[in-house]
Amino acid sequence: MRVLIGIGGGIAAYKVCEIISTLFKAEIEVKVILTTGGEQFITPLTVSTLSRHPAYTDRDFWQPIHHRPLHIELGEWADLLLIAPLTANTLAKLAYGLADNLLTNTVLASTCPILLAPAMNTEMWNQAAVQRNWQLLSQDSRYHAAGPAIGLLACDRVGMGRMAEPEEILPYIHSLLHTHGKLDLVGKNLLISTGGTREFFDPVRFIGNPATGKMGLALAQAAVHRGAQVTLVHGTLPDVQIDRRVNLIPVINSEDMHHKMLAHFPNADIVLMSAAVADVKPAQYSDRKLPKKLLPTELKLAPVPDIIAALGKIKQPHQKLIGFAAQTGDIIAPALEKLERKQLDAIVANPVDLPESGFGSDRNQAVILKPNGERIDILPCAKLEMAHQILDRIY
């Protein structure tokens, strides 16, 4: 996998160093084009050291040709082109197909997906001309956008125009390398549940589980990157930056999740029930913290709503309902039983008793099972990669 990064002239250029380093550690080959403005903020030595490749500048572009033209070579080499920070000047050139430097010539000489990470002052971003240029690029399926975000800018203003953080850009890069930029979920509404629920028996004590919500969050990221409208009904979630295009619906317990899933279900084309919902709850709840001496020695339990079974009963022919089964030991037999009993279109069975799998891990593995007997094995991989493999195979 090969990523070409074009660095524009802005203070946010320093963030790109982390992106280059992280991609290299993930064994993704990186080459960098430094614009004349970009060189004012970081040096060719910095990016060449991080990428283990020479940094390309406009001086290289205008040198005598020894082999093929540099912009042709770089354009054909790249699987993905990231432009970060994207300045108002470069945005305007891209919108109108202008090419007066190495970066813009390489854009026109390439066919790969292009990820844009704009960064500029709020007043600059809000200018009618800038917004017009941005809308022009948004109509071109080659271009994908990470940000901009609202935050503290270099001019000391708080507003729109801050470059997306590396933790938002890096997953997008991995998504585009997997999909090659296809937007196969445009026009689709995805409803995803994730995280663990907490069933309280007093204001500070609850029955719960180790679910972190990472798998559902990866599904939401992957779906948004493929063009879907995503609603994420979540219990626990990791403390990370989440794409602002994801509609977040927080819940606490299984009853909350049941109501929210039913409310949003009619508008959903695909439902992915990856939440670790409690199976039972305390039969009684105290609205005051129980003193330690009054804690029950036996906790009476009551059932909670079976959310996915309820959705299965009202599912329409155009809707797909995908379940998840976190298991220890034999993961297949319980998942097959759940697949049939709950009228699912597919179920994703994953082990939680193997290294780097299940709750809290950044990696996972699974088996997708379908009613027609089809079985698809997903080998150990990052959860975002697993999310894409699930989305590839649920049709």
- The residues assigned a catalytic role are 155
- Whether the link from the prior residue into 85 is cis, omega within 30° of 0, is yes
Residue 261 is encoded by which pair of tokens? 């899933």
DSSP per position, 105-120: HHHHT--S-EEEEE--
Nearest by Cα to 184 from 226, 140, 142, 222: 226
- CA of 128: how far to CAs of 131, 133, 134, 154, in Å? 5, 9, 10, 22
By three-state DSSP, how is residue 22 classified? helix
- Whether the link from the prior residue into 291 is cis, omega within 30° of 0, is no
Distance CA 349, CA 76 (A): 40
Residue type, position 182, single letter: K
Task: Please name every residue paired with 114 in a beta bridge, in sequence order, or none if there are none.
Answer: 81, 143
DSSP summary character for residue 369 = E
Residues 339, 346 contacting (CB under 8 angstroms): yes
Distance CA 329, CA 230 (A): 33
Residue 191 is encoded by which pair of tokens? 């409803």
Residue type, position 264, single letter: H
Distance CA 90, CA 84 (A): 10
